[in-house]
Structures are given as C-alpha cells and as structure tokens.
Structure 1
Amino acid sequence: MIKRFHPSLFFHAATILSLLFLPQALDAAEPTLAELQQAVDAKNVDLDTLWTMLAAFLVFFMQAGFALVESGFTRAKNAVNICMKNLLDFSFASILFWAVGFGLMFSVGNPFTGDSGFFLHQFDITLSGADGSEVISNFEPIKWTPVPIEAAFFFQLVFAGTTATIVSGAMAERTKLIGYMAYSVVLTALIYPISGHWIWGGGWLAELGFWDFAGSTVVHSVGGWAALVGTIVLGPRIGKFGPSGSVRAIPGHNIPLATLGVFILWLGWFGFNPGSTMALVGTDIAHIACTTNAAAAAGVVGALFLSRWCFGKWDAGMALNGALAGLVAITCPCAWVSIISSLIIGLVAGLLVVLSVVFFDHVAKVDDPVGAISVHGVCGAWGTLSLGLFSEGGGDGAPLNGLFFKGGWEQLGWQFLGIVAVFGWTIVTATVMFLAIKYTIGLRVSEDEEIDGLDAGEHGYAAYHNFQIVE
C-alpha cells in the first residue's frame, strides 16, 4: 500500500523551523533609527508630491473655467475663438515655460532674473565664502519645498498658463489669432517669469520684504495689467462707444455657461491657494481653503448688492465677477489672515470690481468684454495691499503684522512698492510687445471679419452649427 504525503505534515515542519530561526532573523533585519527616519521622510515626500500634483491638476482645470467664463460673457460668433485661445495659452506655456520661463524665474541668477535651469536642467553650484564652501542647487530659490523639481515645475507651469489666459477675455472678439499667439509666447517666456523671480525666485522684492503667497500680484496683476495695455493698443469693439462717448452694452450670449465657468474657477482656486503650500500640512491647507472660500462668498455679496444699488437690478454678471474678485484678492494674504479678515477683503473686492468696471467703461473708455482688468489687475492690487493691513504673520519667515494688527506701516509700504514695481514692469514690456505685434504681424482682424465673427473668419467653425444666431 502506497502512503500518500499529507500537506499538513509539511506546514507543521515549516512552522517549527521558523520558530527556531525567527529570533536570529529579526535581530539581523531590525532597522536602525536612521533607516526608519529615512523611510518616514521618503513617505512624507511622496505625500507632499501627491498633494502638490493634485493641486496642480485643479489649477489646470481652471483653463476650462476661463474658457467658459470668457465664452459666456462674449457673443456666440466668437465662442470657438475664445476656446482656441485658452487651449493655445496652456500649450505655449507648457513648452516655453519649460524651455525658458522656469529657469528665469527660479534659478539662482541675480536679484532681477535667473540665468540657468533652461530646459529644466538642474546642477549643483559651489559657493565659496569666509566660512568655507557650500554646495547648493541652481534651483535653490524653490528648494524650500520638499517635492521633486519636476513636481515643482509642473505646479508653477499651471500658474504661468493661468497668467496668460487672463488677457484672452479682455482682448476678445477682435484679436488676430496669430497676434495673440505671439503675445502668449512672450508673456510666458519672459514677462511673467522675470517679475516672478523678483518675488518668488528670491529676487530684490523678496529680499526687501514683499510677500505674495499665491499670486495676487505675481499672477493676477501681471495678467490684468497686460490686459489693460492690450485693450488700449487694440482699441474697442465696433459699436461699443458712440460718437458722443455713450457706452453701448454688448451682452454675453450665455450667462449659464459663464456661471459654470465661475464655479469651475472657484473649485480650481482650492488648488491655487492651498496648493501653494507645496507640502501636505493639514492645518495650513484647511485654513487657506477657508479664507479663500470666505473671500469669494463675500465678493459675490458685495458686487451683487452694489450693482443693485447702482443699476436697479441684481446683476448676474457683476455677481459672477464679484466671486472672482474675492478669489483674486485673497490669493496674496490667504495664509496669514483670519477668516473674518478674509470676509472684509472679499467684500471690498466685490465692491471694487463693480466700481472699476464702471470706471473703465464710462470714464477711461477701455473695452474689456469680461472685466478682466478690474478682476485681476485692480483686485489683485487690492489683495496685495490688504496683506499690509490684515496680516497676522508675525514675521520670522512670514510677513510682518499688518497695520490693523499692531504691525505699523512697514509691511504695507513693501506691498505698495511691489505693486508699483510690477505694474511698471508689465506696462512697459507689454506696451513694447503689443506695439511690435501690431506693426509687424498684426493684432486686430479686419472690420468685416469682426462683424461676421472670428469663429468663421479665423477658424471656419461655428460654436452652434445650424442654430440661428441673432445679435
């Protein structure tokens, strides 16, 4: 009779052997404290990177929000053109910011610009001094974040794309696509990165004491002031202003579309502001999300009630821009102000955007179809200034306390200086750029093309094919 081997006999034997040799195996494999700490640090970097990338994806989604807002606030015959410009902004930014912009903004360089790191090339620099030599990265200005350099680059890339897109709406309905492409390339490769280096790249404004947590000035005011220059050089749309200076309203074709865009932007701002920690620090992220949301809500309320008082109607367009105005304003101080302060900052931004839109329409006679100059330029400046009023940073790696929190005038002074410096830089460089485009490849479409719509003339498409569009 053949005896069969029972599997349980094997498992019993294996168990006895493992018990005999387990203590020695444990002693041999027991990690040191340094190894445990190294493993924890590596996991922390992974978590920081995951958060930074998720936040970047949210900011990228803001491109869709801008496309919808700008399309909704303009006429149906130009909707395809708006979408194309938003697509191109991020496409050009992805190439130019990688090739040139990131290096100009975040490499060591000098107080005015970076001078290496092009094509994301990273290397070590040896600095010699009286205390000996020190080895640093050429991307030292952004080494405060623990994430890998490609994660830091990608997060900053989506900010560059956002800056370029701000101008699209202000110059809508009459800009040549080829001229707009040239603008988008220059802004993301040169204008935005150089002024960004002054503040986020360890440049001269940062050394003086200017602070901008997530970009009310670095991103939004640069886009807003470039939009101001672009609209002036371009001129108003046909029929916007009468011979006597009267202002003709040119309604957008789809307010529900614009509303969806605002909600997408509001969502994206929870990547824009909290994501600027570029590290998974729960208390900081939660606080920034709360101040960001509060300012947006207060901006809606401020703009809605002021427009009701001014125009006799609950103006939906103003309310939508009020939300964006509050978001833009809180972007600078969001990490260092209380929720109560953020409500005040957002409320003032909501009031300010209404007054600013009326000013540019009726006084300055600047044709901005979506209110981008007011939302991003004016309210970006207000938000930057508000840090000097409401900051509770306390100094030591943070801004000084603001004027309303026993901090005196110093922080307010540095904020004002930064606003003026970036305004001057953007106005001068954008003027040179837009005039150069205007007198070379051209900036404005023909009168017939503008009347027929850029969708047909520039793209050969219709946003609503087989629908009858009534202007």
Structure 2
Amino acid sequence: MMRLLPALPALLLAALPQPALAQVAAADSGDTGWMLVCSVLLLIAALPGVMLRHAGLANVRNALSVMTQGIAMIAIVSLGWGIAGYSLIYAPGGGWIGGTANLMLANLAALRDGLTVPESAFVVFQMAAALIAASLLAGAVAERTRLAWFMGFAPLWLLIVYVPITHAIWAGGWLAQLGVMDFAGGLVVHEAAGWSALALTLIVGARRQASIAGHSPVLALAGGALLWIGLSGLVGGWALGATDDAATALLNHHFAACAGALLWMATDRLLGARSSAMGFLSGALAGIAAIAASAALVGSGGAMLIGGAAALLARLGLALTRRWIDDPAQIFVIHGIGGLTGALLLPLGVLPLLGGVGFEAGIGLTDAIIGQLVGIIVVAFWAMAGSAIAALAISVIIPMRVTEEVEHDGLDAMYHGEQSWDFR
C-alpha cells in the first residue's frame, strides 16, 4: 500500500474528465507502401525497361547512344519535376496552369489533400509517370540525334507539353472541367508521348541508313517484358491506395496486354507478314497504352476489347505510316494510336452493360464521347505543337542531327569517355 501512495496523484488526475483533443490525420501505411511500390515499378519500366527495348531495336553501333539519351532525359526531367514541374501541375492555380507554392517541393503536406498518403509519396509517383512519357521519346528519333540537343529539349518538353496537359486533365484543369476522363495516363502519358514522338520524327527526318530490324531482339524483348510489368504500377498506383480498384486495374492491365498481343499477331498474318515475338510485345504494349485511360473503370470483357482494338489499329497504323515515319521504337503507333484508342473507347467500356462502373449522375454516353474527342484532339495537337516549338528552339543553338559521317560510323563512339560531348 505504501508503494502506491506516490502514484496516487497521477491516478486521480487520470480519472478526471479530460478535454477532447482533435485527432491528427495520419497517412495509411498500407496505401503509402502500395504507392511507393508502384513508383518503383514505374522507375524500373523507365530505366532498364525502356532503355533495353530501345537499345535492342537500334543498330549495334547506336545501342549505347540511345540508352545514354534515355538516361539524360530521365535525369533532367527528374530535376525539372522537383524544381517546378510538380508545383506547376498540382499547386493551387488556375484552369490552365498550377501555382508556385510547391516550387523546389516546398510546403509539401504531411497528408495529400483528400488522400491517405503523404504528399511526398504522391510526388514520387507522379514523377515516375512523367519519366515514362519522357523516356519514350529517345526511341522515336534514335540513331541520328545529338545528346546535347536532347538535353536542351528535355526541360522544354516537360514545361511546354507535359505540364499543361497533365494540369488540364489530372489536376482538375480546363479539360477535366469539360468532362475529359483519363484514369491513369492514356492521354496524359501515352498519347502525349506518342504524338510528341510523331512531331520529332517529322522534324528530325529519317535515318540515312535505316535498319530493317534492331541488332538484338532479345534485348528488345527483355525491355518490353519489363515495360509490361512496370507499367502495371501506373494503373495500380492511380487507384491511390491498396484497394479493390487497384486490383481491378491490375487485372484489366494484364487482360488488355494479352488481348493486344494476340490481335497484333493475328493482324500480322492477315496482312501477309510473319508472326513474331517482337510483334507479340508490340501488341501487348499497345493494349497497355489503351487500357491506362480506364483500367479501374471497365470490366474484364471491356478491357480485352479495348486492348485488342488498340493493337489492331496500331498494327494497321504501322502498315500505313512505315514508309514516311522513321520511328525505330514505334512510339507513335504503339503509344500514340494505342492511347488514343483507349481514351476513345472509354465511354463504351464504362457502360454497365459491358461490366463497367457506369457514369456519374448527370453524365450521358453522348456527353462522355464528346468530352473524350475534345481531349484526344487537344492532347494530340498540343503534344505535336509543343514538341515542335521545343525542338526547333533548341536547334537554333544546338543542331538536332549528328553529321553524316558520324551517322555512318555510328553514334556510340561519341558516348565513350572524353568524346561524350562531341558536337559534330
């Protein structure tokens, strides 16, 4: 009893009524962990995935150069994202552009408004999505462009093309207010990258000695397989938590990829070409680009339909454009046409009749189709115009193309040691 006397005041104080304290919102560790995992998956897709695919599709004398350009693009866009990109998209602003409250990633909240994850985790995930779009561009103009030009082009492309498109759709900007829907990047990532690639290929021109096929199909297949897996992080992460929507999105991502792979191979046969492993992966990636717009909003049947339709249209697009577009990695047909197809078919896939979640109250099928058409046209035009402006602006200082001699000998010699900054 004597031992309890010193503790008696504390016990009495604890028994008294206590004032109510406001509960401090805390991040959900499961949702936070899930978004970080999805971010890492996207980084794997952007670094070894895209780079291996592009290297395998290039001539053996240019494999290192296209990988170097991809690394440079990722490094510069990452820094640009931290300095201004995130703030200009997601900080409070207007319908056309965000604000400056988060420049240099200042003033990040402990919890992202409306979510169960820290804002820092949201920043990492959004940066990884931007890196996917940026990293694809190097493959479209491989084997003839200068590293120095690419390094100047990268930050301008981020600010002129990616930031306005992303703010307009994902941050509640003017396109979102018009009813444009894009769950996980069919428009923002895939269509924007694909149509930017088209603009670059037309401006830079064709290779003087274009290869019919890349030097290493095995490398290209390995990179494509990493993209198949890594891009699941884009649709899974945009569920913004470890939820049923995330699981649904992952399933539909895989179903669309499988349907796209088989439809591309079937189209090869119908066009009189041989089915190939490269075609299989191209079809899968076209299906993945298409389903990104609606991955958590459609049923399994709708996902298969969207993936297959995108691969069919992308393969037909390749047959029609191959003679006048020199795009070694097929960025335009796979991501540009694939993303466009998925965004266009989203209103049909969302219908409950096809297993979709249905539209919100007050939105009809016609309204949704019109909204998607507006989004598709605006993103395609903005991506091409913005990319052309950025490319031509930098070319005033640094020429886009290497010299004929360097292109003939291969660019890889320019990326070894002290010759890395050769401006020939």
TM-score greater than 0.5 by the shorter chain = yes
Q: 2:321 aligns with which of 342, 360, 371?
A: 360
Q: Report what 1:389 is aligned to.
A: 348
2:233 corresponds to 1:271 = yes
Q: Report what 1:144 is aligned to.
A: 114
Structure 2 matches for 1:328-367, cutoff 5 A? 328-362=289-323, 365-367=324-326
How far is 1:461 from its partner? 9.9
Structure 2 matches for 1:217-296, cutoff 5 A? 217-240=187-210, 250-281=212-243, 283-296=244-257
Does the aligned pair in 1 maintain the 2:185–2:293 contact within 8 Å? yes
Structure 2 matches for 1:46-65, cutoff 5 A? 46-63=29-46, 64-65=48-49
In 2, distance between residues paired with 1:292 and 1:453? 38
How far is 1:57 from its partner? 0.7
Q: Report what 1:80 is aligned to.
A: 64
Distance 1:29 1:273, change over 3 A: farther
How far is 1:251 from its partner? 1.0
Does the aligned pair in 2 maintain the 1:438–1:444 contact within 8 Å? no
Unpaired segments ≥5 residues, structure 1: 1-12, 124-136, 241-248, 401-406, 463-471
Q: Report what 1:107 is aligned to.
A: 91
Q: Report what 1:121 is aligned to.
A: 106
Name the amino acid aligned to 1:121. Answer: A
Q: Report what 2:353 is aligned to.
A: none
Does the aligned pair in 2 maintain the 1:108–1:201 contact within 8 Å? no
2:399 corresponds to 1:429 = no
In 2, distance between residues paired with 1:189 and 1:327? 26
How far is 1:423 from its partner? 1.3
In 2, distance between residues paired with 1:297 and 1:26? 67
Distance 1:375 1:312, change over 3 A: closer
TM-score normalised over the length of structure 1? 0.81
In 1, distance between residues paired with 2:120 and 2:335? 28
Name the amino acid aligned to 2:216. Answer: N
Secondary structure of the residue aligned to 1:311 is coil
How far is 1:189 from its partner? 3.2
Q: 1:200 aligns with which of 149, 159, 170?
A: 170
Does the aligned pair in 1 maintain the 2:68–2:415 contact within 8 Å? no
- 1:61-106 alpha-carbon deviations (Å, 9 max, x no partner): 1121000111111111111112212211221122101111111111
Q: 2:403 aligns with which of 446, 449, 468?
A: 446
How far is 1:460 from its partner? 5.4
How far is 1:169 from its partner? 0.5
Q: Report what 2:337 is aligned to.
A: 378
In 1, distance between residues paired with 2:77 and 2:199? 20
- 1:309-341 alpha-carbon deviations (Å, 9 max, x no partner): 213311322221111000000000111100001
Secondary structure of the residue aligned to 2:398 is coil
Distance 1:31 1:368, change over 3 A: farther
Q: Which has the larger radius of gyration?
A: 1
Does the aligned pair in 2 maintain the 1:183–1:433 contact within 8 Å? yes
Unpaired segments ≥5 residues, structure 2: 351-355, 420-424
Name the amino acid aligned to 1:193. Answer: V
Q: CA RMSD in A?
A: 2.9
Q: Report what 2:422 is aligned to.
A: none
In 2, distance between residues paired with 1:294 and 1:31? 58
2:291 corresponds to 1:327 = no
How far is 1:380 from its partner? 0.7
Name the amino acid aligned to 1:330. Answer: I
Does the aligned pair in 2 maintain the 1:384–1:415 contact within 8 Å? yes
How far is 1:58 from its partner? 0.7
Secondary structure of the residue aligned to 2:271 is helix
Which stretch shows the higher mean deviation, 56-65 or 407-416? 407-416
Name the amino acid aligned to 2:75. Answer: S
How far is 1:458 from its partner? 4.0
2:151 corresponds to 1:178 = no
Task: Give % identity.
Answer: 32
How far is 1:233 from its partner? 0.6
- 1:360-407 alpha-carbon deviations (Å, 9 max, x no partner): 113xx010011011111111111111112211333349x95xxxxxx4
Does the aligned pair in 2 maintain the 1:228–1:373 contact within 8 Å? yes
Distance 1:111 1:177, change over 3 A: same
In 1, distance between residues paired with 2:417 and 2:16? 69
Name the amino acid aligned to 1:374. Answer: V
How far is 1:222 from its partner? 1.1
- 1:120-166 alpha-carbon deviations (Å, 9 max, x no partner): 2238xxxxxxxxxxxxx8x99x7232322211111111111111111
